[in-house]
Amino acid sequence: MSWLAVQTQVRDALAAVIERAKTPPERVAQHWEDVSKLRWFGVSADHSVLHASWSFGRLRGVNSSARETVGVFQVNRASFPGVDDAALRSALDAFVPAAIDGATRVYLMRVAAQLAAVDALLVLAPADEVSVFARPDAADMPALTPRWPEHARERVAAALESMDAKFVARFLAVTASPHATLLEAASPSPSGRGPG
């Protein structure tokens, strides 16, 4: 499985969520001052499971500086009919070679899902502000930049030797980034180079 195939699966899944988010039903729309555009859109990625959340800005009659959202939803066919979560899981599972040990596999699947989610957000640009958040129960907490697991550095390095070169380059660039949060670390540099 290529890195491009994983990126495409994640981007397609998030595109389906964004399309649904941009056209809220009346029972949702009535609670917001303006639903003409998304003000914030966030994603959490962990292994092969994505969660999404979004905001239209201010709720009617609520004067608060806190970000109000529609909630946090698992990205699957049950919640978003246009999403093929089975294909998404399969792509992420196939991306990390089966011969790699369990802990290293889990780590690399998580990082791959996170990086693919960042790339999708940067390409789709669904809202004024985008975010990759830490966990489904922490939508206001940005995901931290993945770092090399020092206790398993040799295992991870060996695993990367058998993986897609474009992903490996992206992994090395992001894990070496001085930025504390994933979105900053994985965003294009001021030189204009996009995600790879």
User: pLDDT tens across 96-119, in order?
Assistant: 999 999 999 999 999 999 999 999
Distance (Å) of CA 77 to CA 17, 72, 186: 10, 15, 28
pLDDT in tens, 31-65: 999 999 999 999 999 888 999 999 999 999 888 88
pTM comes to 0.92
User: Are residues 53 and 71 in contact, defined by beta-carbon separation less than 8 angstroms?
Assistant: yes
Give 181's strand partners.
144
pLDDT of residue 190: 44
- Domain spans, the chain: 3-142
| pLDDT at 193 exceeding the cut of 70 | no
Share of the chain above pLDDT 90, in %: 86
Q: Tell me the two tokens of residue 87.
A: 């294909």
